[in-house]
Structure 1
């Protein structure tokens, strides 16, 4: 039996590296079309105009939006109004209000809206959440340092309003944090480093309640660092490394899940569509918005790709 037909909008690095392979490997899905100004996928019909795709391909049930957050709202709005289920790459939108509006549209149309957080599907995340359940968190540290030139080569949109800067990767850590903690935390203060002439930060230091601290840096070369450490009142020490894919508890490495992040996202989407439900958790985006609101702005040296 053929899977549900899906259209990818935005054929860039994340679509090629993650979405296309996940769809191709899944019995639940068939990549039936793409929409992109320049990119394409071999053997798959390509549209340059999203409105034309919606008009001509009423057989496509699901639209997976992989383009940057700045234009994403208008595409999602059109897809929902056309009665299509929608997957949103992270972050789900430029603002909270945008995504709240999309939630209302999805409910009115009776279709599924899935705000995906791929790092929540990290292989060790479920195990960390299970271990921390019912415990009192007394402290924690998030260290998320990577090379923007490697992951976003020449992509100036990340430094434009709505691009989120270093919070583009940092929101991955926040998606894990908000998933595994038994009780929520909130931002107390933040320091944000903006390159001279750029509109979004390239580094940040954030302090949360419950003794949780976060350090973000988008200029780290060599090995990349994606670590979360959590301490609890009973002396337990939980560490997630490699973006949530390695789990260590009290110094011992633990077994983790087998399924990769993006295949897990598409399996989740298949379940949501079948069950007629949506999944839109905005708590990671709330932390970003709060950090931007409370953050002290520091101007640092200019950045160029």
Structure 2
């Protein structure tokens, strides 16, 4: 394969504009050749409102990156795979585990790349934390993932609808880091979900996992936002990830971090997968979310309005 890979971006909302578009533009691997959205466009890029039309008119676009919400994503992904295109999935990769397994089977049958992305795993300090914990036994850990939904998802009601996951939408970012850096797997023991009386998904979560790991997710955080996790090992090591995983401190020493940002690293990974004809569909973070929804106790919280 020579020259940049042509990619179509589907769902031109906040995450696409803030992260995907500039990451594609900055990479020599990629050319943004089309967009599909009911309303959003990108200057200078051919735009479509229907995925079928875009696919039919652009046989040279080999990759489709899906940034729309998780509930409608399966149909788009299946359509693209049937049309012989490689597919990149924004997190979470789907609304259910079963549908992502189905997409993985379709991609394998078609010989196409399917990449279930977890952008927080690409945060600059995550590799350093993973290296620091490698071969160690984690004695305890705590996660604080607390942000303001009004700031990060203003007016986006879909996050509070079934499939939107509520506070577990940002929380799954923490879980993606947790499942990446831990030397051994863990599972949920108990949880409490606080769900506004007028919404379908939680706005706060308190979680306890095996291995002495606890987590607090909160979508009503005022002031300074908090995305931090601390790990203690039986050897006495203290590993601290902050800034959403973009900074790592081990035993009070700042660690060297990766150069690429989260989304540029995702697109670099996707380019490698396409060139190798490989797939990457790790559902471990989504398994934890499913367990949280299944096992946790529910508490009715005050109504939420934007």
Q: CA deviation at 1:299?
A: 0.2
Corresponding residue number in structure 2 for 1:271: 272
Q: CA deviation at 1:130?
A: 0.8
Alignment map for 1:12-91 (pairs within 5 Å): 12-91=13-92
Give unmatched runs, 5+ long, in structure 1: none
Supply the distance in 2 between the matched residues of 1:137 and 1:166 (Cα, whole angstroms). 26
Alignment map for 1:52-201 (pairs within 5 Å): 52-201=53-202
Supply the distance in 2 between the matched residues of 1:279 and 1:254 (Cα, whole angstroms). 28
Corresponding residue number in structure 1 for 2:255: 254
Supply the distance in 2 between the matched residues of 1:120 and 1:296 (Cα, whole angstroms). 28
Corresponding residue number in structure 1 for 2:238: 237
TM-score normalised by the chain length of structure 2: 0.99
Q: Deviations over 1:184-239 (max 9, x none)?
A: 01000000000002100000001000000000000002111000111100000101
Query: Matched residue of 1:7: which SS?
Result: strand
Find out whether 1:3 has 2:7 as its counterpart: no
Query: Matched residue of 1:92: which SS?
Result: coil
- The count of corresponding residues between Structure 1 and Structure 2 is 305
Supply the distance in 1 between the matched residues of 2:104 and 2:147 (Cα, whole angstroms). 32
Q: Deviations over 1:265-304 (max 9, x none)?
A: 0000000001110000000000000011001000010001
Q: CA deviation at 1:2?
A: 3.3
Supply the distance in 1 between the matched residues of 2:258 and 2:223 (Cα, whole angstroms). 27
After TM superposition, which residue ranges in structure 1, 4 or more long, deviate above 6 angstroms?
Answer: none
Supply the distance in 2 between the matched residues of 1:176 and 1:148 (Cα, whole angstroms). 20
Supply the distance in 1 between the matched residues of 2:250 and 2:288 (Cα, whole angstroms). 26
RMSD (CA atoms)? 0.6
TM-score normalised by the chain length of structure 1: 0.99
Q: Deviations over 1:63-84 (max 9, x none)?
A: 0000001100100010011110
Give unmatched runs, 5+ long, in structure 2: none
Supply the distance in 1 between the matched residues of 2:140 and 2:79 (Cα, whole angstroms). 43
Supply the distance in 2 between the matched residues of 1:274 and 1:159 (Cα, whole angstroms). 38
Query: Matched residue of 1:267: which SS?
Result: helix
Supply the distance in 2 between the matched residues of 1:275 and 1:221 (Cα, whole angstroms). 45
Query: Matched residue of 1:79: which SS?
Result: helix
Q: CA deviation at 1:50?
A: 0.7
Q: CA deviation at 1:255?
A: 1.6
Query: Matched residue of 1:165: which SS?
Result: coil
Supply the distance in 2 between the matched residues of 1:27 and 1:45 (Cα, whole angstroms). 20
Q: CA deviation at 1:43?
A: 0.1
* Residues 2, 30 of structure 1: 8 Å contact kept: no
Q: CA deviation at 1:258?
A: 1.1
Query: Matched residue of 1:170: which SS?
Result: helix
Q: Deviations over 1:39-82 (max 9, x none)?
A: 00000000011111111111100000000011001000100111
Query: Matched residue of 1:210: which SS?
Result: coil
